[in-house]
Amino acid sequence: MKALKGYERMRIFASQLITFLFLLGIGTNVFATTLLYDDFEDGNNDGWTTTVGSWDVQSGVNRNTGLFNYKGDPGGYAYTYAGDPLWADYLYSVDVTFGTNVTEFYVGVRADINSVTNDPVGGNQYLVSLSAHDNRTRLRYYIGETWENIQITSFTFNEQQTYNVKVLMVGNHITSWIDDALFFDYVFSGSDPIYSNGVIGLGYKSNEGVDGAYFDNVLVSSVQPVPEPSSLLLLLTGISGIGYVRFRKKK
């Protein structure tokens, strides 16, 4: 490998610094590492833990292979979990497709699978629901079998249409988007339950427990908060100093 000249090192350093500043300009977090990705092209749902319903991987009409619940329990519920219970700050993205008789989708974060009891969608977790029966989205939390709606917004869902849902958890702050449109932005405090870490969840409810719910392209990325302004100034000063010293040594 060719040794870099002093001006080349400074050019690379400047490029990295500009990239870092650009990230600061577009948001407050930097997405660092992919924690989980599953497009189910391997034909299985290994790594997912089912609490209710019968989950399988199948291909649907005009769809790629995706996670698909084909049965559900007698009440029409299905739920499954994946991930590391120590996950804390992360961005969770998933594609969901409404099928026939599917009334509601559930996308859970910071879920504690050990707290699940008799409720098919219960257990300690934060959850975003997409409801086709009343065209509403809901942000709620669960404490065991007890749940509470925090925010409710209107959204019209169409049968056989795929929607991308994103949920970002950083500290006690939750943000959620549907097809990149912001729907929820909330900070848990006061009497709200505070869950510091947990796995992700997927679920749905149908009228008769029939098939028609598709999930695909599950992506979970870790999140590193950007330093506070004072810490950031010290960091940039230190980086600049290191770059200058290296430049002087090469002259």
For residue 87, the model assigns a pLDDT of 95
Q: In the structure, what pLDDT confidence band is assigned to residue 29 with cuts at 50, 70 and 90? A: low
In a domain, residue 234? The reply is no
In a domain, residue 187? The reply is yes
In the predicted structure, residue 199 carries a pLDDT above the cut 90: yes
- The three-class DSSP label of residue 156 is coil
Average of pLDDT values for 167-182?
Answer: 92
The domain tally of the chain equals 1
In the predicted structure, residue 183 carries a pLDDT above the cut 90: yes
Quick: pLDDT tens for 203-240. Answer: 887 766 555 678 889 999 998 765 555 544 544 454 44
Residue 187, CA distances (Å) to 15, 85, 169, 201, 214 in order: 35, 21, 10, 20, 30
Average of pLDDT values for 71-85?
Answer: 75
- The percent of residues in the chain predicted with pLDDT above 70, rounded, is 63
Residue 190, CA distances (Å) to 73, 174, 194, 237 in order: 36, 15, 9, 38
Closest by Cα among 161, 163, 165, 136 to 151: 136
- The three-class DSSP label of residue 239 is helix
In a domain, residue 2? The reply is no
In a domain, residue 4? The reply is no
For residue 119, the model assigns a pLDDT of 59
Question: Which CATH number fits the domain that encloses residue 105?
Answer: 2.60.120.560
Give the bridge partners for 203, in sequence order.
Answer: 79, 106
**Residues 6 or more apart from 49 whose CB is under 8 A from it?**
80, 81, 82, 113
Closest by Cα among 47, 43, 92 to 66: 43
Q: In the structure, what pLDDT confidence band is assigned to residue 60 with cuts at 50, 70 and 90? A: low
In a domain, residue 14? The reply is no
In a domain, residue 94? The reply is yes
pTM, two decimal places: 0.75
Average of pLDDT values for 28-50?
Answer: 81
Range of the domain at 180: 28-225
In a domain, residue 237? The reply is no
Query: 221 near 90, Cβ under 8 Å?
Result: yes
Distance from C-alpha of 123 to C-alpha of 238, rounded to nearest angstrom: 45
CA angle in degrees (0–180, nearest 5) for 133-135-137: 110
Quick: pLDDT tens for 184-195. Answer: 999 999 889 999
Tokens of 47: 């790594």
For residue 226, the model assigns a pLDDT of 59
In a domain, residue 36? The reply is yes
Distance from C-alpha of 169 to C-alpha of 51, rounded to nearest angstrom: 23
Distance from C-alpha of 29 to C-alpha of 31, rounded to nearest angstrom: 6
Quick: pLDDT tens for 88-146. Answer: 999 999 998 877 666 788 898 998 877 766 556 667 899 999 988 888 999 999 888 78
In the predicted structure, residue 148 carries a pLDDT above the cut 70: yes
